[in-house]
Structure 1
Amino acid sequence: MWFVSVRGRMENASVESPTFVRFQLGAQLKRAREDAGVTTEQAATLIEVSPSTLRRIEQGRVGLKGPALNALLDRYGVTDGELRETLRSMARTGKQRGWWAKYADLPNAYRQYIGLESAASEIQNFETLVVPGLLQTAEYARAIISADASQPTPQATDERVTVRLERQKLLTEEKLRLVAVIDEAVLHRQIGGPDVMRDQLAALLDAQKRWNVSIQVIPFKEGAYASMVSSFHILSFSEGPGVVYSEGLTGDLYAEGEDVDRCTRVFSSLRAAALSPTASTAMIKRIRDEETP
């Protein structure tokens, strides 16, 4: 049943990123509501919030207080005392602040992703246009962030570069495994100019030496391949189901369940279409030497 896995997850302190716990609590509440046959509007009216706020709760974007949680659990018919206490504990953990909370200018959607990323044990990342964020150099990241359509202020740009480098400690401290597949176009696009790209390609070569990083390149000669116009991340956790994340101009999308299985199959096909890590390293070296001063 759905509540068994909740207990198991809360027994593992390593996954208690506040964002991760809030995300999982929201998913469990949504499942309980649907199992009880309660509509979004009915549940929202019960705790005196708008339907859009309830959806944000179920998406893990905002937390909720104990009385509201208890009211929802009563309405959903959740009577197991141990389970109710577990969910209350999740709600309390979800209110805590992660290290990224001190950066005031970060978009809320980005905060949520960082929180989930910090709890992940492995990320499978496919990128068509840019180097994965966890592998970007400071100047490469600065060039991308500065070109953002939202035109962040210089202070916000500095902050986001700092945060991006802070996130990379997950790799350097070996808390996370990254499996990255990138299109060859990523290696040729002169983001930041030749000097920045030379340093970025060198950083990819250094990252490839780590046991917890694997980089594969899909060469131009491969032609068409699965998901070639859509980048995505598959986040896996030591406890609990995985999550698929994709970023879009009009908003971010998180998916679970069958969508994770489908994207995992697509990612496997991408790895099959890509060069091996060894051959990818050779390509990165060649492009660095031929296309940068």
Structure 2
Amino acid sequence: MTENPNPSVRSRQVSLQLRALREERGLSGAAVAKALGMSPSKISRLETGARGLSVEDVAALLGHYKVPEQQRAQILEQVRKSGERGWWESQGLGLPELWQALINFEFRATRIQNFEALVIPGLLQTDEYTEAILCAANSTLSRAELTNLVAARRARQAVLGRRELQFLAVIDEGALRRPVAESGVMRRQLRQLVDTGERTNVTVRVVPLRVGPHAGLRGPFACLDFADEPSLVYIENHHFGMFLDEKEDIAAYRVSLGNILNEALDPAQSAALLATLAEELR
């Protein structure tokens, strides 16, 4: 199998799962290589995405790790589709697989730039704001499903504790003024934005309503950059989420982000506006 200088999103996610499965079982790469008649370097390349994945190699690893049949079938299906660029998937109940992939990519990213036009970025939401958004989007969620989704959103926010990550949140002012919950919830959410924006690795900028139409009205997105992996763009709507990994798509979203930032307030002005909006809700 040849080296894979630009692995697809599916390949990268499967490689990450293979490493996690091995570590969960307390096995070293050398021990797995010896048991399966592979070289340790091959195991390493399979787990980092530096080597193209084959169904045979992945199936051998999953069998050695005694992965349950349903999970094994899901992973092997991703391997079969690993040559396809991009990755879209329907959003279901519980914790969707795509959310798991997003959490994994966010934990490895060195820079995340997220624009949101309608809601507060997920990495900056309070639990009560998240719950209000989820309930409004799907009134049929059970309490258990809601609790699981809120916990998943909270788990994502742990990435902000990584000093090597730089996070830029660009938010349309309309999202800040939309009363998705009672005034106390919105006030606490706005105050959290101010407080989080004071971290050295977090920047919050607001696109004011007075600018009128701008490039961000085409929809929200997040650009993710990594130390040793190709960049990605993540977009999400009512029913679907998608990772984009084509260079042309990523370049287009970077241009859009630049145009949006040209209209945004600077961090200090943004913090002042957030504080003013929070005070108005008292």
Q: Do the structures match in fold with TM over 0.5?
A: yes
Q: Quick check: 1:190–1:197 contact (8 Å CA) kept in 2?
A: yes
Aligned twin of 2:220: 231
Shift of 1:18: 3.4
| Residue in structure 2 matching 1:143, options 116, 132, 138 | 132
Alignment pair present for 1:164 and 2:190: no
Whole-Å separation in 2 of the counterparts to 1:115 and 1:185:
30
| Residue in structure 2 matching 1:110, options 99, 123, 141 | 99
| Residue in structure 1 matching 2:230, options 241, 245, 254 | 241
Q: Quick check: 1:26–1:60 contact (8 Å CA) kept in 2?
A: no
Q: What percent of counterpart residues are identical?
A: 31
Shift of 1:286: 0.9
Structure-2 change in CA distance of 1:151 and 1:23 (3 Å):
farther
| Residue in structure 2 matching 1:54, options 52, 62, 80 | 80
Whole-Å separation in 2 of the counterparts to 1:199 and 1:60:
37
| Residue in structure 1 matching 2:268, options 255, 264, 278 | 278
Q: Secondary structure at the match of 2:171?
A: strand
Q: Quick check: 2:113–2:169 contact (8 Å CA) kept in 1?
A: yes
Structure-2 change in CA distance of 1:116 and 1:258 (3 Å):
same
Shift of 1:175: 4.7
Whole-Å separation in 2 of the counterparts to 1:167 and 1:52:
23
Runs of 5+ consecutive residues of structure 2 not aligned to the other structure: 8-14, 20-44, 55-75, 88-92
String of CA shifts for 1:51-97, please: whole Å, max 9, x gaps.
Answer: 99833674697xxxxxxxxxxxxxxxxxxxxxxxxxxxxxxxxxxxx
Aligned twin of 2:255: 265
Structure-2 change in CA distance of 1:28 and 1:232 (3 Å):
farther
Shift of 1:5: 3.7
Shift of 1:230: 0.5
Count of equivalent residues? 222
Aligned twin of 1:130: 119
Whole-Å separation in 1 of the counterparts to 2:109 and 2:180:
29
Structure-2 change in CA distance of 1:186 and 1:23 (3 Å):
farther
String of CA shifts for 1:27-58, please: whole Å, max 9, x gaps.
Answer: 9669xxxxxxxxxxxxxxxxxxx999833674
Structure-2 change in CA distance of 1:161 and 1:51 (3 Å):
closer
Q: Which runs of 4+ in 1 moved over 4 A?
A: 19-30, 50-53, 56-61
Q: Quick check: 1:23–1:58 contact (8 Å CA) kept in 2?
A: no
Q: Secondary structure at the match of 1:245?
A: strand
TM-score of the superposed pair, with normalisation by structure 1: 0.67
Aligned twin of 1:18: 17
Aligned twin of 1:252: 241
Whole-Å separation in 2 of the counterparts to 1:184 and 1:232:
16
Q: Quick check: 2:95–2:149 contact (8 Å CA) kept in 1?
A: yes
Aligned twin of 1:203: 192
Q: Secondary structure at the match of 1:204?
A: helix
Q: Quick check: 2:194–2:274 contact (8 Å CA) kept in 1?
A: yes
Whole-Å separation in 2 of the counterparts to 1:131 and 1:229:
17
Whole-Å separation in 2 of the counterparts to 1:23 and 1:183:
39
